[in-house]
Every structure is written in structure tokens, then in C-alpha cells.
Amino acid sequence: MSRYLAQLGAVVRKDLTLELRTRERLAAMGAFAVLAGILFGYALDPTLVRPSDVASGFIWLTIVFGGLLGVGRTFALEEEERAIQGVLLSPIPRDALYLAKVVSNFVIVGLTVILVLLVFALFFGLELRGNPTLLVGVVGLGTLGFVATSTLFAGISNRTRMGDTLLPILVFPLLVPVVIYGASATSRVFAGRPPSEVTGSLRMLAAFAIVALGVGASLFRFVVEE
Amino acid sequence: MAGDRKLRWTGTGLGILGVAGMVLLMWQVAFWVPTEATMGVVQRIFYVHVPAAWVGCMAFGIVALTSAVYLWLRDERLDMAAQAAAEGGMVFTTVMITSGPLWARVAWGTWWTWEPRLTLTLLLWFIYLGYFMVRASTENPERGKRFAAIVGIIGAFNIPLIHLSVVWFRSLHPQPVVVKPEGPTLHPAMLQTLMTGLVSFTLLFFAGFLLRYALEHSIRGEVPTAAPSRAHAYGRPDTMEGVS
């Protein structure tokens, strides 16, 4: 078990070090988040709708669209120089490799999500009236489900001719629960509704994340085999 | 190939039976079955919509099952079966999601509504659209089969959700009238018409399935199932293939 965790940790450390040095994905996703916030802001007519009412939906769309930018590149570097062969030759179990990729993506996307929340709070005049811990729970579980699903499919789309073009087509249908429950819970937390109105969505997000992680971990070896 | 010819004959036979069943169904729907009391004539779409839904879900169930076993045994035939079933599933799911709105326009007063069962079904359609796109967009056919199998398995998680969505969520979609704990609650003539629909749609599906399978089999030819020799057949000695 500790060996498993050590191997998992090694891949996470490698990915995060690489990201820390290049800051490629973080920069792309961060810029996307701010620009999407601006575009969404202009897409609304503030005399017809109050921006703060629709902000939660836009927050989740930005997380999903922007997140895919980064997650889509999960295996890009390794695929380029066939470095993936090296990773696969190491004695790390395939599911540990998948979980490591999920963890490092979760950290990277998680940082972006914080930025997204700040951007929308600023541009859309959002005020947090509810419990901050609850918000962390909603956003954390939603992001985990998102990352668990899209990491598996990033492995697939990366090895097809269509590349990242294919990724949204494969992942969006599966991400609908994350957007539905994430957006409704987020808007309720921001509006300061009682926690009992959010627990149902939290449970759904948790269930989704667990199923996605389980399915991803068991099917990932078929993605990278050969 | 003798096996292919047998498949084609069986498929054609099932197809003739299925078409005959369809003719009977149309007669029953148009002239025989009583009109439903609250919804009126438009309820007759039910006899097409429900069989199409049943066959669509069954087809994608077959896709998931054969895909899972394919990943395990790597038998080419399982992949061909999954592909044939997926194409059939697409056809019948399309029938389901086009006949639904026609009914809903009259019964609910709207073509489309954001309701769990409708949404999940539409998503099912798109997941299996991705199934074909993944299959088509890999240079190494073995890889395409594997990826398609993964998508096929994951897509099937949707099917039980679709079935249970009307029970779990308080939904607009009519509740089940046949498959439920206390048995069917449907006028006998309606149940009989529905059964004609279910049987003839199922026959048509398997007819198409067998014909498609035989076609795919003759396209792929008698290639041994083991992956390396297959790679040679494509003129790519053992490759990890394409830097994309």
C-alpha cells in the first residue's frame, strides 16, 4: 500500500514540478478564466437579468470549458517524445498512474477554480452569503468528478487523430450531472440558503466523483496498453 | 464464407418477419386499438416510441456487454458485434427521440422540456455518437476498437438511470405502465398492440444486426484476431504508432 502511494506520489510530484516550471497549463487556464468572465459579462444585458443570479451557471461553464484546456494536455508532453513509454515501463500499476494524473490535474484545475471564483465575484458582483466550507465542498467535489472523468478521456483523445477536438464531444455528455448539481448548489450557497437545500446536490456530486474515479481507475489500463 | 451466408439468410428471414410485424402493428395502431381517454389520438405514438426506446436501450446494453468481454478476450467477433449493435442502437434511439417530441407537442404543449429522462436519452445518443467518432479517428484499428469499447461501457451507465429517472425524480414523463412491481396496468388491447410493436422492432433490430455483422465480417475478412499480426496486415510492423 505504501509502495503504491509512493509510486503515485512520484508521478504527482513529477507532473506538478513540470507544471511549476513551465506554468503552461496554469497560464492558459487562468487567462481563459478571466477572458471568459469578460465575455460572459458582455453576453448579458444587465437591464434584463441580474448578473449575480446567473453567475453560478457561468462559473461552472468556465470551469468545464477552461478545465478541459488544461486536462486535455495531461498526456501531451508524454506523448510528444514517447516519454509515456518510459512511464509505462516503470513498475507503477496503471490505476495508480491514472489516480496520480487525477491528483495532479485536481491541483492544477483547483487553482484555476479559485481564480474563476474570484473573477466572477469581481465581475458579477457576487457576495458569499452562505457557509464558505460548504462552497469549498461543492466546488471540490464537483472539480474532482470533472477531473476524474476528463482525465480518462484525455488519455483517449490524445491518442486519436482528432486530438483535443474529440475531448469535449466525449466528455460533455458525461459532465451534465456535474454542471446541474454544481451550479444549483453553488448558486444556493452564494444566496445564503440553508445547508439542507445543498446536501442533496453535494451527495450527488460525491456519488458522481466516486463512480467516475472507480470506472476511470479500472478502465485506464485499456487506454494506455500496447 | 459459409458462415456469412447463413447469417445473411437468418437476417433476411428475421427482417421479413419484422416487416410483417410492422404491417400488423400499423394496422392495429390505426384501426384496432381503442383511443386513450385523456390524451386522445396522439397517444398512438406510444406504440412506436416505447418499442424504439426498448430496442435502443437493449442495443446499447449489448454494446456494453460485448465491449466489456472484448476488452477481456480480445475476440474480433465481439468487436464486430458491438459495432453492429451500436449502429442499430443509434437508429432506434433516433426514432425514440424524434417520436417523443411529436407526442409531447400535443400532450405537454411543448416539443422539448428539460426533464431528466429526455435529457439523459439525448445524452445517450451523443455518447454513442462519440463511440463512432473515436472508432473512426485512430490510425491503429486495434486502438480504435479498444477506445470504442471503453466509451461503449461508460455510456451504458446511463441506461439504468434512464429507466429509473421517472421513478426517482418527480418527472413529467409518463410513469411505466408495463414493467413495474404490481404488473401491467394497461388496457388488454393496448398491451397487445404494444407487444406487437416490441416484438417486431426487436426482430427488425436483430435482422439489421445480423446483416451488419455479416457485412463487417466480409469487410474485415478472415484476419487472425491476435493484435500483432493484425498490425502487420496494415503494413505497420508492430508499432506503437503515430506520433499524433
Q: Contact A169/B126, CB-based, under 8 Å?
A: yes
Q: How confident is the model at residue B163 (pLDDT cuts 50, 70, 90)?
A: confident
B235: pLDDT strictly greater than 60: no
Between the alpha carbon of residue A131 and those of residues A117, A120, A140, the distances in Å are 15, 18, 14
Strand partners, B40: B36
Q: pLDDT digit string (tens) for B66-110?
A: 999 999 999 999 999 999 999 999 999 999 999 988 888 888 888
| Distance, CA of A221 to CA of A95 (rounded, Å) | 7
**Chain A contacts of B151, Cβ < 8 Å?**
156, 170
Long-range contacts made by residues B119-123, C-beta under 8 angstroms, separation at least 24? B119/A176, B120/B158, B120/B161, B120/B162, B120/B165, B121/B53, B121/B93, B121/B96, B121/B97, B121/B162, B122/B97, B123/A173, B123/A174, B123/A176, B123/B158
pLDDT at B244: 41
B172: pLDDT strictly greater than 80: no
Task: Provide the percentage of residues in chain B whose pLDDT is more than 70.
Answer: 84
B243: pLDDT strictly greater than 60: no
Which positions ≥6 away from A202 have C-beta within 8 Å?
Answer: A134, A137, A138, A141, A181, A185
pLDDT at B5: 86
Q: Contact A225/B147, CB-based, under 8 Å?
A: no
CB A122 within 8 A of CB A51: no
Q: Which of A29-43, A87-101, B230-244 has the lowest mean pLDDT?
A: B230-244
Is the C-alpha dihedral spanning B62, B54, B110, A188 positive or negative? negative
CB B93 within 8 A of CB B125: yes
* DSSP secondary structure string for all residues of B85-111: HHHHHHHHHHHHHHHHHHHHHHHTSSS
Q: Contact A173/B123, CB-based, under 8 Å?
A: yes
Residue of B132, B135, B240, B244 to mutate when probing chain A, most A C-beta within 10 A: B244
Half-sphere exposure (CA, 13 Å, Cβ side) for A117?
A: 20
| Distance, CA of B197 to CA of B200 (rounded, Å) | 5
Q: What average pLDDT does this structure show over B205-221?
A: 91
| Amino acid in position B222 | E
DSSP code of B36?
B
CB A30 within 8 A of CB A24: no
Higher pLDDT, B240 or A46: A46
Q: Contact B134/A219, CB-based, under 8 Å?
A: no
| Distance, CA of A39 to CA of B113 (rounded, Å) | 28
Give the ipTM of the model, two decimals please.
Answer: 0.88
CB B47 within 8 A of CB B197: yes
Q: Which of A141-145, A159-163, B53-57, B77-81 has the lowest mean pLDDT?
A: A159-163
Distance from CA of B137 to the nearest CA of A (A): 5
| Distance, CA of A59 to CA of A114 (rounded, Å) | 11
Q: Which of A153-162, A182-191, B156-165 has the lowest mean pLDDT?
A: B156-165
CB B227 within 8 A of CB B73: no
A42, with CB counted inside 10 A (0-12, 13-18, 19+), is: exposed
Cα B188 to its chain centre, rounded Å, is: 27
Chain B contact residues (CB < 8 Å to A): 71, 119, 123-124, 126-127, 129-130, 133-134, 137-139, 142-144, 146-147, 149-151, 153-154, 157, 227, 240, 242-244
Residue with cell 451534465: A176
**Chain A contacts of B161, Cβ < 8 Å?**
none
B236: pLDDT strictly greater than 50: no
CB A219 within 8 A of CB A174: no
Q: Contact B150/A223, CB-based, under 8 Å?
A: yes
Which span out of A75-84, B29-38, B89-98, B151-160 was modeled with the highest average pLDDT?
Answer: B89-98
A215: pLDDT strictly greater than 80: yes
**Chain B contacts of A170, Cβ < 8 Å?**
127, 130, 133-134, 151
| Distance, CA of A148 to CA of A225 (rounded, Å) | 19
Residue with cell 469499447: B149
Q: What average pLDDT does this structure show over B9-32?
A: 92
pLDDT at A17: 92
pLDDT at B1: 59
**Chain A contacts of B143, Cβ < 8 Å?**
159, 226
B169: pLDDT strictly greater than 80: no
A90: pLDDT strictly greater than 90: no
Q: Which of A3-7, B1-5, B126-130 has the lowest mean pLDDT?
A: B1-5
**Chain B contacts of A152, Cβ < 8 Å?**
150
Residue of B72, B150, B171, B241 to mutate when probing chain A, most A C-beta within 10 A: B150
Strand partners, B36: B40
Q: Quote the pTM value.
A: 0.86
Q: Contact B119/A176, CB-based, under 8 Å?
A: yes
Q: How confident is the model at residue B228 (pLDDT cuts 50, 70, 90)?
A: very low
pLDDT at B242: 44
B230: pLDDT strictly greater than 70: no
SS3 B40: strand
Q: Which of A1-5, B93-97, B126-130, B240-244 has the lowest mean pLDDT?
A: B240-244
Q: What average pLDDT does this structure show over A34-56?
A: 88
C-alpha cell at A219: 478502465
Residue of B137, B161, B171, B243 to mutate when probing chain A, most A C-beta within 10 A: B137
pLDDT at A104: 94
CB A168 within 8 A of CB A67: no
| Distance, CA of B200 to CA of B177 (rounded, Å) | 20
Q: Is the CB of residue A161 less than 8 Å away from at least one CB of chain B?
A: yes
| Amino acid in position A158 | N
Q: Which of B85-89, B122-126, B192-196, B239-243 has the lowest mean pLDDT?
A: B239-243
